[in-house]
Amino acid sequence: MPPLDLTTLLVLAGMVVSLIAGEAAYYGDLLTLHINVAPALVKAGFDGPTAEQTFVAESARVVRGASIIPTPTLRVNSRPTVVSALAAPLQLDAVVGALQDQFGYDRVVVNGSVLSGAAGALRMLIVVEQPRHTPEQIQLTQADGDPLALVRRGADATMARISPYRVAEAHYMQGIESNDAQALKDARETALDYMGRPWDPARASERAMLYNLLAMLSLLDGQVPAAVNQLALIDPIPGVLPQAHAVVALNLAFLAVADKQPTQALAFLKAGEKLAVGNNAAWFNPKIIVLGGLVAWSAGDLAQAEKLFRAGIVARPTSEIPHIYLAQLLAAKGDAAGALAERNAAAAIHPFDQEAPVFAQSIVWVDPVNGGIKPH
């Protein structure tokens, strides 16, 4: 084998560096983050890497899980490949970022500082840069001087600039799962804060789903008319995806059952079913089946309601909702043994039930005979 000259070595080295940078750009995180921390806090043990990991963990909590609409998400704290892991020690971060920008990745750059304030308080200054948007500045104060809480708030505020719906949804789901009133309040405040911001056509469906979220929060407070009004605000929004409109139509059908309007409920149900075709159908179908049973029951067709509740159990075996409604229906028909069996089945499933809380039927019960709702 002939010896390698200097030019060949430089070419090979360049190819290796290009490979490393390219792999890092493709597989790497889409959140470029740097946080400076005041020296006094560093001395106390809270340094920049700790702040950044706290920020990343909170950001990851917000963007985890599936969403009914394709909202902007970020890869945070991802595991690099063996090749791309070499980018950091070779100090290729700037090259990787430039490549991601060049090839159209929606990279977000966040620079922040945690500073000491007056009377033991802390301040955090954040600058958020994202594609197709003017850089934004965020300023937060933590009166009790808790740096972890401040950085988490900073992550939430930053993610609210990137995907307000995902932030509000994360708070909302935490509130429902943990019965956390503060989290529900945070969900409402995040949604209302975004409604006050300038119209962004690219986030039309996010705006629609934020109105839907506000409607669900109203239902949790027992305010059905307020929920209907919030859902009505979605129809005029231009550019909303069909699946978002499908959610709204199905929720309006459920509320029409609560209002003892079976004809109107059926019309909304059919509209929602049509909009859901081809759009997350597997996600929608179990909801549509059970809702169809409620609409049939509200119209007095108990046989069709029972048939649909049983079909709903088959469509989603891990949901307690069709078992509960079927138990109520069987009890109304005088089948005490059948009703007991369904209640027992619902109790057995309850720990494993993971409902999609964008639907009214997932968070409140409806009385198909007398109307009205009550919380789960």
Q: Are 370 and 298 in contact (CB under 8 A)?
A: no
Name the β-bridge partners of 35. 112
Confidence band, pLDDT 50/70/90 cuts, at residue 139:
very high
Query: CA distances (Å), 245 to each of 60, 212, 248, 295, 297, in order?
Result: 28, 10, 5, 19, 24
Whole-number pLDDT of residue 107: 63
Question: What burial letters (b/e) apply to 252-290, b meaning 16+ CB within 10 Å?
Answer: bbbbbbbbebbebbbbbbebbbebbeebbeeebbbbbbb
For the chain, percent of residues with pLDDT exceeding 90: 57
pTM given for the model: 0.80
**Per DSSP, which regions of the chain are E strands?**
31-37, 108-116, 122-129, 136-142, 364-366, 373-375
pLDDT digit string, tens, across residues 79-135: 443 333 333 443 434 443 443 444 344 567 888 999 988 888 999 999 988 776 788
Q: Which domains does the chain have, with CATH numbers?
A: 19-162 (3.40.50), 241-375 (1.25.40.10)
The 8-class DSSP code of residue 357 comes to T
Q: Are 363 and 357 in contact (CB under 8 A)?
A: yes
The 8-class DSSP code of residue 68 comes to S
User: Which of residues 72 and 371 earns the better pLDDT score?
Assistant: 371
The answer, yes or no, to whether residue 166 has pLDDT greater than 50, is: yes
Q: Are 263 and 253 in contact (CB under 8 A)?
A: no
| Closest among 114, 126, 231, 211 to 169, alpha carbons compared | 211
For the chain, percent of residues with pLDDT exceeding 70: 80
Looking up tokens 């709702």, which residue turns up? 373
pLDDT digit string, tens, across residues 43-90: 989 999 899 889 988 888 887 766 777 655 555 543 443 333 333 443
In angstroms, the CA 98 to CA 106 distance is 12
Reading the block at residue 78, the tokens are: 């991802």
DSSP string, 241-276: -HHHHHHHHHHHHHHHHHTT-HHHHHHHHHHHHHHH
User: Which of residues 1 and 351 earns the better pLDDT score?
Assistant: 351
The predicted model gives 267-278 an average pLDDT of 92
